[in-house]
Structure 1
Amino acid sequence: MVGEKALRIVGVALAALLTAGAAENPRSAILGTVIDAQSRQPVAEVVVTASLSAQGGERIAVTQPDGRYRIPDLPPGDYALRFERELFEPYSLPLSVSEGRTLRVNVELQPTEPGEAVGLFCGGPTVDTSSSTLRFIQWREDVSRVPVSRPTKWAGAMRTSDSLAEWVPGTVDSVDGRSFSGATPFENEYLLDGLSTRDPTTGRNLLPLSQELVSDISVLTGGYMPEYGRTTGGIIDLEPVVISNELHGEVFANWAPGALEGAWRPATGPRPALSSDGALRHLGDFGGTLGGPLLKDRLWFFAGIVPALSRVEQDAGFMDQRSLQALARLTYALKHRHWTSLTVVTTPALMRGMEGAQAPRAVDSDTVMTVLAYNAMVLDGRVTLDAKASWLGHDVTRLSPVAPASVDTDRFQAKTQASYWLKALGHHALETGLELEHVVQRPSQVADITSSNLSGFVQDRWTLNDRLTLNGGLRYDAQFLDADVRGNMTHHQLSPRVGLVFDPGGNGRMKLFAHAAKYQGMVPLGLLTPDARIASRLGPTSSSEFIAGAEHELSLFAKAGVTYTRRRLDDALATIADDGAGGFLIVNPGAGPAASLPKATRTYDAVTVELGRSFWDGWQAQLRYTWSWLHGNYAGPFGTDGGRPLSQSRLLAADRPHVFKAFASKEFTLTRKLTLNAGLAYLGAAGAPREAASTRTPWVHTIDAQLSARYDTDDQHIVTLRIDAFNVLNAQTTLREETLLPLQYQTPRQLRLGVRYSF
């Protein structure tokens, strides 16, 4: 763990280095996905070459196992783009790249044997006519044109990738975190390189990585196939930075000074000791990344480091937070179609504050994760093998003059997956996988808690023809808990999932889809307190889901869609008094020892309409509206009520019947080297239901703005200055109430400045 002294030194360095300016303006780039024209599956190890016609220079990238590639740092000009791989026909096309423009080029490569024609889609949004999953990919190049990742004083200064999920439909922010499709924040799943980083104690993310350390973030809100793990909430999947045969790097700094913050309204009701209402003194991050080849076409590396710090005034002093994130990754091509990689991440942090006038509060934490991955393609590319193993260690210490407490957690994961493509009454993409996980938690002065998970799945994506695709499969999960005298639990679950996708035109421009699924969660170790026992035949949280919708490509650069989602809670967890042995008993409400309690219910219905325009002629825009209804008698397993259901159904706290999310940006080319970008974002949501559920808190309206300038040098270096203004109108609407007294208002207007140098 990085000690307090070291983090103070980082803080001094940050204060000395951070000046004006903020920046994350995108560079010119070509990116996309390569798939097999017959199997419709991604193709790895495709060599993508961008040749600049006028200067004769070349940039090369290699597609990842998921078929994605990215060629950054491109100067403007006319290019010849070429795709090559054994057993596939080579393909090339001319392409014109303007300053600062990111082009998305998705290609279908034709196998060497006779088959279907090669297809190409360039520049615009694609309709995935083979999937019924609600997946939203946030590319760094896309989101950097609008104000995102608003400063959050209670969560520290790190601009995490998780914050980009704010713009995904079906998400609602609450005091406990982000809710997906009505589920509590404790039910979400977080993945890094396909492996879980979820805290087994509370369900929170143990590795909320900085946006600088990943290439993109995928947010899944429904229609999960069996390959995705145990969750009844949303899924946030982070993709490590894509390798390149060109050396590239960035140095950046972002700073939100308290002197530029708007006036804030103090809450009149009871507030937490460490409240977000305090005035901001400063908040920011800085750092750098570097990546490229150590051996061309053989060995690649990426490394990045991001320190961050913040200070917020409290009634009795200050709340200070210091953190640091570092990631290193090596990727090695063992031989043709055989890859291996090693990733190491560390995220030490500390917090210092006051709990009232006399009681200091100090929390130190450190999370370290190592991932070893292997990927291979055999049998002429028809079979793909993936194997991953990881260790994640999380240590947190709460320092107190009276009773210091610490919790050490070790998590070991192993995951194997095989994919097989074949022809039989159409095309099949068969997949099967096995996952093992073992968690050991060591609370101070309490017996160890262990949890072991065994999971497996089979699934098939069956493309009958150009118009019809069936997705289906089955997932098996078993959780084995051993909590010393608290009791044991061994529970087995089956989760069937099936989806249907219909493309009326057979041309990939429109789809009608539906998906039905059963999801299983896990028992969080945070419920296993020293005075709690596990009831017999305890089942984890589970839910059922049905979604249906349509997507249509209006033009090369615009897409519209509508989706209906219904998610219903089937089983839940709660704690009740254990009359026989004293203490508490963990139960399923309405069953077994808790048969006298009402059965836990929670139902979420939502309709989302969206309209988007990708980057074209300098413009980018997105509009999403969600109508939803969230009602039931269950608010989650944690809290003073122990997760016990209410006596009758009512609107739940996360119910927001109307949510609007919109952003737009426009790029202005002033000279050949100088470009300006202006972005605007709006987030509007209906208020939360009050206790009587007959009225609501006021609507919340937030308008954010961005202005950035990018200067490109002749040697392909880029300097960007940026300013983000959050809550421009300084709205101070009530966010939370208790007994009709305001607990929290909107965060006042904040300005974030920064600078970025890319090479």
Structure 2
Amino acid sequence: MQGLLRRGAIWALVATLVMGAHGAAAQTGGTAALQGQVMDEQGGAVPGVTVTAVNAATGLTRTTVTGGTGNYQFVSLPPGVYEVRVELTGFRTAVYESVPLGVDSTVRLDARLQIGALTDTIQVVAETAVINTTDASLGNVISGSQIRELPLEGRNVVGLLSLQPGVVYVPPTGATDARSGSVSGSRADQSNVTLDGIDVNDNQFQDAFTSVLRVTLDSVQEFRVTTSNYGADQGRSSGAQVSLVTRGGTNAFQGTGYWSHRNTATSSTPYFTKLSQLRAGLEPTPPKLNKHIYGGAFGGPIRRDRLFFFGNFEGLQESSEAPVNRAVPSMSMRDGVLIYLCASAAECPGGSVQGFSSSHTVPAGSFGVGPAATSRIDPLGVGSSLAASQYWKQFPEPNDPGRDGRNIMGYRFNSPIENRFRTYISRLDYRTAASNSIFGRFNFQDDAVASAAQFPGQPSTTTRTV
């Protein structure tokens, strides 16, 4: 069995490598673009200029030459911070430092060359436009520093998606809601989610902004939600386009370790649970919900400027109590007495009915039938079952009106649940040449998820490992 799992993991890694290499060549999703025009001091277009973009973190280099109108363009660049060099004989070299290129964004950088020696260099701190002037798409890039520094309950990166104008995200509650998360009023299942340019939509549950692969906070370099007017390179769905990019290694070793805790002391008691506890004479106590999130990330170079690695592990130990309301027999029903609501309340003044062991009050407007009466109604003369009565007495006594408040009532309690989630993410980047690279990403989840117990003291009904 372990051999099969190892072989399956190897094939999954190979498939990710193939898809990553293919995606880099066949699509622009999850990448960035840079374009602009090179002019002289009088504003005239300068053709034949060599423009070089260098990724400051990995040394990735791309080079192009301006056309007859002085325009240049880089496509499918990995998101990051770049240095841009503009060179032509007879002009001073212009160097633009710290040019940020965000995922699924096109940045425009125009350059003006000054007459001088090629060896003369002008250092320019790039100032990119805050307003998007290259296309009609609407959306913002959330950077890695924002992702890791903004407070998030449960360290769930999805919570940041609602920072975009027009985006509403409501965490799933178990109820089916086509608009639990939407952009500009669209259905939740109309969003398109990609990770490193590869489709990771959850076609089974179709929740808003949910990736079929778990994405931890420290594994995301940045992401962008394009809310409308996206170009032909995006699409598939009519809603938002969500592009996430996995962190990769750089020429510097970097690592983080983290631990966070969420305690029940900050919780409030649900309304109906509080009512049930007060009816039973208990002090209102909120359901237990403790979360321990721990993990670490580490990345760096295996071979400088050529081969890089990144890895992230995150564990979540969740101890909680789920409010549960189970159907149980009423005290009268478990003693062999059935109480019915009369069609005409005036004909049923109420009273009491004798059960197997005691007498039970019948409220006005209702009619009660005890074991003696049911045996007369039953063609076989059996009536109420004493064996069933003994079995029903094993159930907890009702503390909630339940289904009808007379025969089938409810027992509300907090069921303890212990869940464990473990996520392993790794990425390997390899530059085959100065301007070509491939990457492989490995995702593995090891979860143990328990459901609520049927009654207190009983084990969870189901446990599944993913």
TM-score category (smaller protein): 0.5 to 0.7
| In structure 2, C-alpha distance between the alignment counterparts of 1:299 and 1:363, rounded to whole Å | 41
Relative to structure 1, is the Cα distance of residues 280 and 269 closer, same or farther in structure 2, using a 3 angstrom cutoff?
Answer: closer
Give deviations 1:525-573, integer Å, cap 9, x for gaps: xxxxxxxxxxxxxxxxxxxxxxxxxxxxxxxxxxxxxxxxxxxxxxxxx
Q: Does the CA-based 8 Å contact 1:250-1:290 persist in structure 2?
A: yes
| In structure 2, C-alpha distance between the alignment counterparts of 1:36 and 1:92, rounded to whole Å | 15
**Map of 2:35 onto structure 1:** 36
**Map of 2:215 onto structure 1:** 209
2:228 equivalent to 1:227:
no
2:451 equivalent to 1:353:
yes
1:305-344 correspondence runs (5 A): 305-314=313-322, 315-344=413-442
The SS at the match of 1:212 is helix
**Map of 1:575 onto structure 2:** none
| In structure 2, C-alpha distance between the alignment counterparts of 1:241 and 1:44, rounded to whole Å | 27
CA shift for structure 1 position 120:
6.6
Counterpart code for 2:295 = G
**Map of 2:77 onto structure 1:** 66
**Map of 1:127 onto structure 2:** 131
Q: Where in structure 2 are there 5+ consecutive unaligned residues?
A: 3-31, 39-49, 63-75, 99-106, 116-121, 276-284, 323-412
Relative to structure 1, is the Cα distance of residues 44 and 84 closer, same or farther in structure 2, using a 3 angstrom cutoff?
Answer: closer
Q: Report which of the two has the higher share of helix.
A: 2
CA RMSD of aligned residues (A): 4.2
Counterpart code for 2:305 = D
Q: Which of residues 206, 216, 236 is equivalent to 2:242?
A: 236
Counterpart code for 2:193 = Y
Give deviations 1:242-278, integer Å, cap 9, x for gaps: 442111111111111223x1433334799xxxxxx96
Relative to structure 1, is the Cα distance of residues 84 and 325 closer, same or farther in structure 2, using a 3 angstrom cutoff?
Answer: farther
CA shift for structure 1 position 227:
2.0
Counterpart code for 1:195 = I
The SS at the match of 2:221 is strand
Give deviations 1:447-485, integer Å, cap 9, x for gaps: xxxxxxxxxxxxxxxxxxxxxxxxxxxxxxxxxxxxxxx
Counterpart code for 1:35 = L
Relative to structure 1, is the Cα distance of residues 63 and 165 closer, same or farther in structure 2, using a 3 angstrom cutoff?
Answer: farther
| In structure 2, C-alpha distance between the alignment counterparts of 1:107 and 1:242, rounded to whole Å | 25
| In structure 2, C-alpha distance between the alignment counterparts of 1:44 and 1:227, rounded to whole Å | 25
The SS at the match of 1:162 is helix
2:312 equivalent to 1:304:
yes
Q: Does the CA-based 8 Å contact 1:62-1:243 persist in structure 2?
A: no
Bigger radius of gyration: 2
CA shift for structure 1 position 296:
1.0
Relative to structure 1, is the Cα distance of residues 225 and 160 closer, same or farther in structure 2, using a 3 angstrom cutoff?
Answer: same
**Map of 1:47 onto structure 2:** 54
How many residue pairs get aligned? The number is 287
Relative to structure 1, is the Cα distance of residues 342 and 351 closer, same or farther in structure 2, using a 3 angstrom cutoff?
Answer: same
| In structure 2, C-alpha distance between the alignment counterparts of 1:305 and 1:215, rounded to whole Å | 15
Relative to structure 1, is the Cα distance of residues 128 and 211 closer, same or farther in structure 2, using a 3 angstrom cutoff?
Answer: same
Counterpart code for 1:38 = Q
| In structure 1, C-alpha distance between the alignment counterparts of 2:190 and 2:427, rounded to whole Å | 29
How many percent identity over aligned positions? 18
1:453-602 correspondence runs (5 A): none
| In structure 2, C-alpha distance between the alignment counterparts of 1:362 and 1:124, rounded to whole Å | 54
The SS at the match of 1:320 is strand
Relative to structure 1, is the Cα distance of residues 144 and 247 closer, same or farther in structure 2, using a 3 angstrom cutoff?
Answer: closer
2:224 equivalent to 1:218:
yes
| In structure 1, C-alpha distance between the alignment counterparts of 2:255 and 2:299, rounded to whole Å | 6
Give deviations 1:606-652, integer Å, cap 9, x for gaps: xxxxxxxxxxxxxxxxxxxxxxxxxxxxxxxxxxxxxxxxxxxxxxx
2:365 equivalent to 1:362:
no
| In structure 2, C-alpha distance between the alignment counterparts of 1:310 and 1:167, rounded to whole Å | 27
Q: Which of residues 146, 157, 179 is equivalent to 1:161?
A: 157
**Map of 2:143 onto structure 1:** 139
1:234-313 correspondence runs (5 A): 234-259=240-265, 261-267=266-272, 279-313=287-321
The SS at the match of 1:163 is helix
| In structure 2, C-alpha distance between the alignment counterparts of 1:334 and 1:258, rounded to whole Å | 52
Relative to structure 1, is the Cα distance of residues 144 and 290 closer, same or farther in structure 2, using a 3 angstrom cutoff?
Answer: closer
Q: Does the CA-based 8 Å contact 1:190-1:197 persist in structure 2?
A: yes
Relative to structure 1, is the Cα distance of residues 269 and 219 closer, same or farther in structure 2, using a 3 angstrom cutoff?
Answer: farther
**Map of 2:186 onto structure 1:** 183
| In structure 1, C-alpha distance between the alignment counterparts of 2:58 and 2:312, rounded to whole Å | 22
Give deviations 1:706-730, integer Å, cap 9, x for gaps: xxxxxxxxxxxxxxxxxxxxxxxxx
Relative to structure 1, is the Cα distance of residues 122 and 85 closer, same or farther in structure 2, using a 3 angstrom cutoff?
Answer: closer
CA shift for structure 1 position 365:
4.9
Q: Does the CA-based 8 Å contact 2:51-2:87 persist in structure 1?
A: no
Relative to structure 1, is the Cα distance of residues 268 and 307 closer, same or farther in structure 2, using a 3 angstrom cutoff?
Answer: closer
CA shift for structure 1 position 335:
1.4
| In structure 2, C-alpha distance between the alignment counterparts of 1:269 and 1:181, rounded to whole Å | 37
Give deviations 1:24-83, integer Å, cap 9, x for gaps: xxxxxxxxx8723239xxx9983255xxxxxxxxx7654793363249xxxxxxxxxx54
What is the TM-score of this pair, normalised by structure 2? 0.52
Counterpart code for 1:66 = L
Q: Where in structure 1 are there 5+ consecutive unaligned residues?
A: 3-32, 50-58, 72-81, 96-105, 152-158, 271-276, 367-759
| In structure 2, C-alpha distance between the alignment counterparts of 1:188 and 1:125, rounded to whole Å | 27
CA shift for structure 1 position 339:
1.1
| In structure 1, C-alpha distance between the alignment counterparts of 2:448 and 2:249, rounded to whole Å | 32
CA shift for structure 1 position 208:
3.5
The SS at the match of 1:38 is strand
Q: Report which of the two has the higher share of strand.
A: 1
Q: Does the CA-based 8 Å contact 1:135-1:219 persist in structure 2?
A: yes
Q: Does the CA-based 8 Å contact 2:267-2:286 persist in structure 1?
A: no
Relative to structure 1, is the Cα distance of residues 122 and 365 closer, same or farther in structure 2, using a 3 angstrom cutoff?
Answer: farther
The SS at the match of 2:158 is helix
The SS at the match of 1:342 is strand
Relative to structure 1, is the Cα distance of residues 202 and 87 closer, same or farther in structure 2, using a 3 angstrom cutoff?
Answer: farther
CA shift for structure 1 position 306:
1.0
The SS at the match of 1:186 is helix
| In structure 2, C-alpha distance between the alignment counterparts of 1:47 and 1:287, rounded to whole Å | 32
| In structure 2, C-alpha distance between the alignment counterparts of 1:94 and 1:339, rounded to whole Å | 23
Q: Does the CA-based 8 Å contact 1:284-1:309 persist in structure 2?
A: yes
